[in-house]
Amino acid sequence: MKSKAVATPKRTKEILETYGFSFKKSLGQNFLIDVNILRNIIEHAGIDEEAAAIEIGPGIGALTEQLAQHADRVVAFEIDQRLVPILDETLQDYSNVTIINEDILQADVENVIAEHFKEGQPIRVVANLPYYITTPILMKLLMDRLPVDSITVMIQKEVAERMAAKPNSKSYGSLSIAVQYYTEAAVVMNVPKTVFMPQPNVDSSVLHLEMRKQPPVEVDDEEFFFNLVQATFGQRRKTLMNNLARHFKGSLEKEEIRAKLEAAEIDPKRRGESLSMQEFATLAHHFYQKLH
């Protein structure tokens, strides 16, 4: 008989006590202690027996165990060496799980995928991410253009809202554009603090990112495009004209900037948060042509 699920307060406490494990604040460790929430996450992630799953930061294996029960294969990256023997024990019933003791930011994920997963099988990233490093991890997964189909992550509620935000909302910014350039983003559930041990200080949400086959807009140069987007949100309360004048100081005169905005049919008095991704692409195109 399989032992009781890892994701219960009692079992989590027992495991931590057995191993004398203490939480490292620097690693943002908050373990999930609610099986229903984990099953919900797996459902939103679209995990089935065909799928291969990549997990980041498995902790003591609460989510890993549920993934192992539903997916074909699971590979989990855990940076904290102290957790490896714990995971060996909590996941001993599952032959379809591989734990890699490595920092996901340093790992050759493409190589791991080639080594552990079948060719052509759907690959889904599912994780309860440490809050302090959510954005760098997600941007690495997106910008490396890994062969994954979707990413479903539990992250800080406010960050999830920013990543899925639409124009003209206070959460919308350069992060929204960066994430939505690569994916279709949606917040699929909110999660109370009470289902974590220890309890975090902030609320959490589950963000689902479905990878796009290609970006929704065409740009001349991605780096130039993202830099321009960032510049327009430099000071949120300022107009496009002001933010761009600051960004292009020394390389373009104000009049040239105004002319480019007008050529793109964008009012210089607007603010970055009011522009759609298509408008940003048009704007970037006009400036790129001028500077290259």
Residues linked to residue 123 through DSSP beta bridges, in sequence order: 52
Which DSSP symbol is given to 238? Answer: S
Q: Is 30 annotated as a binding residue?
A: yes
Q: How far is CA 31 from CA 23, 126, 129, 194, 213, in A?
A: 10, 15, 10, 11, 33
User: DSSP string of 151-178?
Assistant: EEEEEEHHHHHHHH--TTSTT-SHHHHH
For residue 123 the two structure tokens come to 């690959």
Q: Is 36 annotated as a binding residue?
A: no
User: DSSP string of 139-155?
Assistant: HHHHHTT-S-SEEEEEE
Residue the block writes with tokens 């639409």:
166
With 0-12 / 13-18 / 19 or more C-beta atoms within 10 angstroms meaning exposed / middle / buried, residue 279 is: middle
Residues 52, 118 contacting (CB under 8 angstroms): yes
Distance CA 154, CA 189 (A): 9
Distance CA 88, CA 216 (A): 43
Q: Is 32 annotated as a binding residue?
A: yes
Residues 129, 155 contacting (CB under 8 angstroms): yes
Number of Cβ within 10 Å of residue 79's Cβ equals 19
Report the helix count and the strand count for the chain, using DSSP H and E: 12, 9
Q: Is 103 annotated as a binding residue?
A: yes
Show binding-site residues for S-adenosyl-L-methionine.
30, 32, 57, 78, 103, 128
Show binding-site residues.
30, 32, 57, 78, 103, 128
